[in-house]
Chains A and B, each alone.
Chain A
């Protein structure tokens, strides 16, 4: 088997770091999406932000411009507002409203993309679908502490750090509004503000991850780590840590797979992440299939012991 470092040399380190820095913030925000049953909203936003990105790109002509993030956050919030507008003002239910809002905004984005960027190769369809995580090394470097660091790595590191800080600062607000919106509203915690804040920040993360993994695979990075961690613990803090561990392991295993197959790094990471999810499902320590089976066997054995004890007592 060919190892990443044999194939790519030191560049493999940058790929791994970049993959992890994309997957980590996704895993943290994704944990709250899963708990709030907003996974589909993540899906909707990952597609619905496209018009915002295209507009930002058209005005600045630069994919790395911070205005793209602003455009994305605005269109992300717009998607959620549109979903709510449709399902509140018409008889259409929420899931159908999500289906309408994100597909049409995505279509609008694709139309704008083709209309505004004829022959412009910087923002093409394959990048939208698959991203270009493996191209991280071709970006200009920033020199930090004497080490040349590719620019996207610096940006994602900053974003990952921001995410961690925001999660720590707003931990209680997120916990309370996710678990019991009614009580948090009665505390004056404003669940709807937290909701839109989360959606806006989610959009920023999705757009930042967009270049690396594309609009579709980013959903996997949001949901897979969270869902795997959810099956492995009953504590929220542990769940967040485990989701981060999943993000790292799937980046690492994905890179191994990529070096071996030499095809689609982002897809390899998601595939590895799915493998880890299956592992959590089957042999996870709390909700794993194996653990539940063992617990049932133990309960049955105990029951039989009790019964035979009762019988022997009665016989005496």
Chain B
């Protein structure tokens, strides 16, 4: 199988403090990869560095065997939902159309073909009836679906998604994961930053365990071991699960 994404010794520093150290990974075609790790592990930074949104201070990235610049049209990036202003005066359709802008470049106009593409993408995520709505009037889950539609309209071969499951309802989460699996069936490669260790086991074929350094990368069943998880999350894992359990119990206690 062809290697879609390869990083070597990828290092990122913020204010002279390293946040990501020497990450070496090679992702093969047709995989659904979850990037997991504790808060501040550099999960988002990793995909931002791959996309060149933040500069890396060392190492290199190869996409489809070439530099990112040469393969840019084959890569789709889905930023965190919170990274944009949802009061911005654009409609759902406008946002979906943005997916085609990368291909069109700065000056070519979006034609009928692009509009159809955007419509199909919206239809796929169940947002076509909302096409004319301003994006601020949507729920969190709907906003995430619009972002996903935009990514679909990009029609890329490799997708990098930053926390697509944050703040979405259960129905949207299920719809997104079904869509991601369908994309994988169609030979696309998808990397997803994910914060919920519990569901990560079911959602992804492969896991990339990160804590500033690469802890492990491989098939989910090989990586999802208490030994490796402990290594990534350190002592904090038990605390985290205790906190999670407690908050999960709270709503019941209120009844």
Bound-complex Cα distance A189 to B101 (A): 10
Report how far A77 CA is from B91 CA in the complex, Å: 33
Interface residues of A (CB under 8 A from B): 35, 37, 169-170, 172-173, 175-176, 178-180, 182-183, 185-189, 230, 233-236, 238-239
Residue of B nearest to A187 (CB): B102
Q: Are A182 and B101 in contact (CB under 8 A)?
A: no
List the A side residues contacting B107 at CB < 8 Å: 169, 172
Q: A186 — nearest CB in chain B belongs to which residue?
A: B77
The answer to whether B89 and A236 have CB atoms under 8 Å apart is yes
CA distance A35 to B136 in the complex (A): 14
Q: Are B88 and A179 in contact (CB under 8 A)?
A: yes
Contacts A186-B72, A187-B101, A188-B72; A170 near B89 (Cβ below 8 A): no
Range of interface residues on B (Cβ < 8 Å): 20 to 34
A205 CB to nearest B CB, Å: 22
Q: Bound state CA distance, A183 and B160, in angstroms?
A: 11
Query: Inside 8 A of A180's CB, which chain B residues have their CB?
Result: 79, 83-84, 98
Q: How far is the CB of A250 from chain B (nearest CB, A)?
A: 21
The reply to whether B89 and A239 contact each other, CB–CB distance below 8 Å, is yes
* A182 touching B53, Cβ below 8 Å: yes
B89 near A234 with CB under 8 A, answer yes
Known interface pairs A179-B85, A183-B77, A186-B75. Does A235 touch B102 (Cβ–Cβ under 8 Å)?
no
Residues of A within 8 A of B188 (CB): none
Output the least CB separation between B118 and chain A (Å): 14
Contacts of B91 in A (CB 8 A): 234-235
Q: By the criterion CB–CB under 8 Å, are A182 and B77 in contact? A: yes
**Chain B residues positioned under 8 Å from A183 (CB to CB):** 77, 79, 98, 150
The residues of B that contact A172 with a CB separation of less than 8 Å are 101, 106-107
Residue contact A188 to B69, C-beta cutoff 8 Å: yes
> Nearest Cβ in chain A — how far from B242, in angstroms?
34
Closest to B108 in A: A172
In the complex, what's the smallest C-beta–C-beta distance from A173 to chain B, in angstroms?
5
Q: List 9 A-B contacts (CB under 8 A).
A: A172-B101, A179-B95, A180-B84, A180-B98, A186-B53, A186-B75, A189-B106, A234-B91, A239-B89
For A173, the chain B residues whose CB sits under 8 A away are 106
Given A169-B107, A176-B98, A236-B89, verify A185-B83 contact (CB < 8 Å).
Answer: no
Instruction: Name A229's closest neighbour in chain B (CB-CB).
Output: B89
Instruction: Say what secondary structure dominates the interface of chain A.
Output: helix
Do residues A235 and B72 form an inter-chain contact, with CB atoms below 8 A?
A: no
CA distance A157 to B234 in the complex (A): 65
Q: B80-99, CB under 8 A of A: which get 1 and which 0?
A: 00011100111100110010
A234: B residues at CB distance < 8 A: 89-91, 134, 136
Report the bound CA distance from A173 to B72 in whole Å.
Answer: 17
Chain A CB within 8 A of B56 CB: no
Shortest C-beta distance, A163 to chain B (Å), equals 18
Whether B101 and A176, one on each chain, are in contact in the complex, defined by CB atoms closer than 8 angstroms, is: yes
Q: How far is the CA of A203 from the CA of B210 in the complex (A)?
A: 45
With A172-B107, A183-B98, A187-B72 known as contacts, the answer to whether A35 contacts B88 (CB < 8 A) is yes
Q: Which residues of B contact A37 (CB under 8 A)?
A: 85
Tell me whether B79 and A182 are in contact (CB under 8 A). Answer: yes
A185-B51, A235-B90 known, 20 other contacts, Cβ within 8 Å: A37-B85, A175-B90, A179-B85, A179-B88, A182-B48, A182-B77, A182-B79, A182-B83, A183-B98, A183-B150, A186-B53, A186-B77, A186-B102, A187-B72, A187-B101, A189-B106, A234-B134, A235-B89, A236-B94, A239-B89
Which of B88, B107, B136 gathers the greatest number of chain A CB atoms within 10 Å? B88
Inter-chain contacts of A235 with B (CB < 8 A): 89-91
